Structure 1
Amino acid sequence: MRRGALVRGCRARCDGEDAVERRSWAEPYRVKVVEPIRMTTRAEREERIAEAGYNTFLLRSEDVYIDLLTDSGTAAMSDQQWAAMMVGDEAYAGSRSYYRLEEAVRLVYGYEELVPTHQGRGAEHLLSQVLISPGDVVPGNMYFTTTRFHQEYAGGRFVDVIIDEAHDPESLHPFKGNIDLDKLQAVIDTHGADRVPYVSFETNVNMAGGQPASMANIKAVHERCRHYGIPVMLDATRALENAWFIQQREGGYADRSVAEILREVCDHSEGATVSSKKDNLVNIGGFLAVRDPEIARRARTLLVAFEGLQTYGGMAGRDMEALARGIHEMVETDDHVGARVGQVEYLGDLLVKAGVPIVRPVGGHGVFLDARRICSHLAHEHLPAQALAAAIYRDSGVRGMERGIVSAGRDPQTGEHHTPKLELVRLTLPRRVYTQAHMDVTAESIAHVTDEAEQIPGLEFTYEPGELRFFQARFQPLSG
């Protein structure tokens, strides 16, 4: 049995012979502090979602029963992280907490140059401003909302070069986050290597359903880019989960620790942006990490203007201490990420057994509902994923989020909607927060909503921001 498997083989004596006994697994922690939550009534939820303009982002958390909106900044920190916060050095310049963070990034990720930021999008902004010139083209394995925004804001254009299987929710390809080398080569041939400032390579691709890239693909992409002198920049926000899937699914890695695999992933890149509010188990923070001192120097110049001094970058000393501890903690054993992904798979398995269409294989940080199939009666322009997310909240108080046409936004040149092939509702699991019983409640609600999906009305915009509209847009049900 592979190292770190959630259902572990246990040697047991049986009639004089060794036998493998299958046993249940449990979370590798115990609960020390709890936060009360309450269930609202159906009438209350009907009122709250209407007040929020049918946008789950605009709900108040006090009106949410099980919050699966995001895994960003929502993890439960450990006792060691809380203890670390007490020794945070709040010096404006040269904080010792910064140097502890710098050491953690070097040891675990392997990058020499650290530029701290208040969260991941701060790192995306710095990287885009430093490397992208107007007219550049940035190939990547499926867009992410804030990443593409910062690339376009710097004058670049994102081009999707992910494999075709990533756009098929029913494909069981084990590494749907892979970059298609032929698509990448076509971008280089068409635009020239000098107009490709870097390849944006996301680990555990969010918009594809939390799908990993294989180590073989990561190496091949890096080798191809090195031939042309093009840097590979990772979005390593969920690289830990990607490393887990490599261990579980890719030949030659079953006996390697997740820490070793994570380091090898990063070794095949020139740098990374990280939102530390995910893998790193903290409520705030992020960083840009690179190998080139000149890129780091230019990024630090912008950091001082937009974020803070180079030794805090928008974070308090106590936050840097918690982050440094979280980076070490996430790779101390494989049990942490195994249990984290295992809970996601548990919810996914419940939904599959209930006949709910989801993106498969189940991803690393959440379960993604195939809203286009569930709400097949709704046209794409009637926003089926947004409507489904609102319907789930009305049913049970479970909050997910839309990942479809609303999130995709509009083409900045034509003003037309981007129309992604995937129209999804994301149910993202915070780390170390909910029990399996919460997953049971969630699955029962979604199964019920799916059974009555033909009653879900479509939605239309009543307010549409110009940028990143899914955060603040408001909607109303279609009349009739």
Structure 2
Amino acid sequence: MELPYAEPYKIKMVETINRSTKEQRLKWIKKAHYNLFNLSSDKVFIDLLTDSGTGAMSDKQWAEMMIGDESYAGSLSFKKLKKTVKNITGFKYFLPTHQGRAAENVLFSTLVKEGDVVPGNSHFDTTKGHIEFRKATAIDCTIDEAFDTSVVHPFKGNIDIKKLESVFNKYPKEKIPFVILTITCNSAGGQPVSVKNTKEVSELCKKYGIPLYFDAARFSENAYFIKKREEGYADKTIKEIVKEVFSYGDGMTMSAKKDGLVNMGGFIALNNKEVFKQATVFNIMFEGFITYGGMNGRDMGALAVGLNESTEFNYLESRVEQVAYLGQKLVDYGVPVQQPFGGHAIYLDANKFVPTIPREEYRGQALAVELYVVGGIRGVEIGTVLADRDPVTRENRYPELELVRLAIPRRTYTNNHMDYIAASIKNIYDTRNEAKSGYIISDEAPIMRHFTVKFKKI
């Protein structure tokens, strides 16, 4: 008899989560103006809003917290983290920041100017926000397969080389500060990018003299998919794959709250000394001195351990396969989800899930709210609300996909929780043909509105 799969860890501490009734949740979400970000955590049963900073740290990471060096300058914890980042990524220069969007802020302050264009694969919200805040334009060059949730393609995060070259031919070189390659590609459903595509993008960038940077929040999960799906990589270690992928780029930003396995932190890693020197000025202005950059010494130590743990196959197999477990349960129930399943989340296809709700009534948001009301589960809309308004016309931008993301925190929930989530979603899907109404926006911020937007139910 073949032995069943077992998680490569055991539980050492538990945290109580609160159950509630549907009536309570209806009252709470109305008071929150139907924005799931406005709910306090005690009103959520299973929290899938994000996998960013919400995972469980290991015993070795907690041990590192006890020996953190909190020196303002020259922290030994900084040296430990810097060495780890160089060993794993191969990049020469390193700046810590308090999280990923802070790394973007520092790097984009250095490189992005008004009128620039930044091509990439489905830029995520903060990336696009930092670009548009500087009156530049993000151009999506993702392959077409990414926008059909029923198409099974092993690397839906790939950049379409023809689309990218058309951008290079349309705009002068000085207007393209860099290409950003997001691994895995969150906005496309947590989809990976292949080594082959990365190499092709890198070669095209070199041909036109344009730098290539990675948004590397989930670089370890991306490497896992490469090992499992790309020919020639089955026998390579995760760390070997990671080193090769990064060798094709000029630098990276990292939200360490994802594949760094910590609750707070981020960094920039670079090969260009001049860019590094310019970025240090903004790092000091926005984050702190260059040997802490908004992070505690103890957090830097925990991150150094986390980066090593997240680039081990056994951990990644457990993490990614739990996401796939939930995805397969939903597929078995007939629920439309982005396939193949992403590394950190399952994405519900709201266009197929609630087709009776018009897009201008924010069907993705309506589905996310319904999931909370029915099961106490907090997800997040990845669709029209997140796509925001066009900076010029101020009209809604309607992306090809209207998704609800269920981001699974790392080493946090059990498969019993996955079963509960799947059953809650099935109950909603069974009512999909009933007449339903959506929402209108009553108040919104001028940029990255989804965090604080207020809705009224129609």
1:165 match: 145
1:394 match: 373
Deviations 1:394-444 (A, max 9, x none): 001011110000000011111111110100000000000000000000000
Percent of pairs identical after alignment? Answer: 47
Of residues 283, 304, 310, the one that matches 1:303 is 283
1:436 match: 415
Read off the aligned partner of 1:442 and give its amino acid letter. Answer: I
Alignment of 1:117-132 (within 5 A): 117-132=97-112
Contact 1:344 1:367 in 2 (8 A): yes
2:292 match: 312
Whether 1:48 and 2:28 are equivalent positions in the alignment is: yes
Give the Å deviation of 1:282: 0.1
Alignment of 1:99-114 (within 5 A): 99-114=79-94
Deviations 1:110-145 (A, max 9, x none): 111001100000011111111112211110101211
1:415 match: 394
1:363 match: 342
Gaps in structure 2 of 5+ consecutive residues: none
1:455–1:432 distance in 2 versus 1, CA, 3 Å: farther
Q: Distance in 1 between matches of 2:13 and 2:438?
A: 41
1:205 match: 185
Read off the aligned partner of 2:359 and give its amino acid letter. Answer: H
Whether 1:266 and 2:251 are equivalent positions in the alignment is: no
1:5 match: none
Give the Å deviation of 1:455: 4.7
Gaps in structure 1 of 5+ consecutive residues: 1-20
Whether 1:175 and 2:155 are equivalent positions in the alignment is: yes
Contact 2:356 2:435 in 1 (8 A): no
Whether 1:329 and 2:309 are equivalent positions in the alignment is: yes
Whether 1:378 and 2:357 are equivalent positions in the alignment is: yes
Read off the aligned partner of 1:366 and give its amino acid letter. Answer: A
Of residues 175, 190, 194, the one that matches 2:170 is 190
Aligned residue for 2:20, secondary structure, equals: coil
Read off the aligned partner of 2:243 and give its amino acid letter. Answer: R
Deviations 1:326-364 (A, max 9, x none): 111212x30101110000000000000001110111111
Give the Å deviation of 1:155: 2.9
Of residues 228, 236, 244, the one that matches 2:208 is 228
2:53 match: 73
Of residues 75, 78, 96, the one that matches 1:95 is 75
Of residues 211, 214, 224, the one that matches 1:244 is 224
Q: Distance in 2 between matches of 1:24 and 1:348?
A: 19
Read off the aligned partner of 2:27 and give its amino acid letter. Answer: E
CA RMSD of aligned residues (A): 0.9
Give the Å deviation of 1:22: 3.7
Give the Å deviation of 1:459: 0.8
Q: Distance in 2 between matches of 1:78 and 1:466?
A: 40
Contact 2:120 2:141 in 1 (8 A): yes
Give the Å deviation of 1:259: 1.2
Q: Distance in 2 between matches of 1:192 and 1:22?
A: 59
Q: Distance in 1 between matches of 2:310 and 2:219?
A: 11
Q: Distance in 1 between matches of 2:115 and 2:39?
A: 39
Whether 1:140 and 2:129 are equivalent positions in the alignment is: no
Contact 1:300 1:310 in 2 (8 A): yes
Q: Distance in 2 between matches of 1:142 and 1:187?
A: 15
1:7 match: none
Between 1:446-455 and 1:269-278, the stretch displaced more is: 446-455
Give the Å deviation of 1:82: 0.5
Q: Distance in 1 between matches of 2:290 and 2:165?
A: 37
1:24 match: 4
Q: Distance in 2 between matches of 1:192 and 1:169?
A: 35
Contact 1:132 1:155 in 2 (8 A): no
Between 1:454-463 and 1:353-362, the stretch displaced more is: 454-463
Q: Distance in 2 between matches of 1:213 and 1:74?
A: 24
Contact 1:272 1:290 in 2 (8 A): yes
Equivalent pairs, count: 457
Aligned residue for 1:207, secondary structure, equals: helix
Q: Distance in 2 between matches of 1:306 and 1:251?
A: 43
Of residues 264, 268, 284, the one that matches 1:288 is 268
Q: Distance in 1 between matches of 2:115 and 2:380?
A: 33
Read off the aligned partner of 1:449 and give its amino acid letter. Answer: I
Contact 1:388 1:456 in 2 (8 A): no
2:135 match: 155
TM-score of the superposed pair, with normalisation by structure 2 = 0.99
Q: Distance in 2 between matches of 1:152 and 1:423?
A: 22
TM-score of the superposed pair, with normalisation by structure 1 = 0.94
Q: Distance in 2 between matches of 1:238 and 1:326?
A: 13
1:218 match: 198
Deviations 1:150-169 (A, max 9, x none): 11222321111111111111
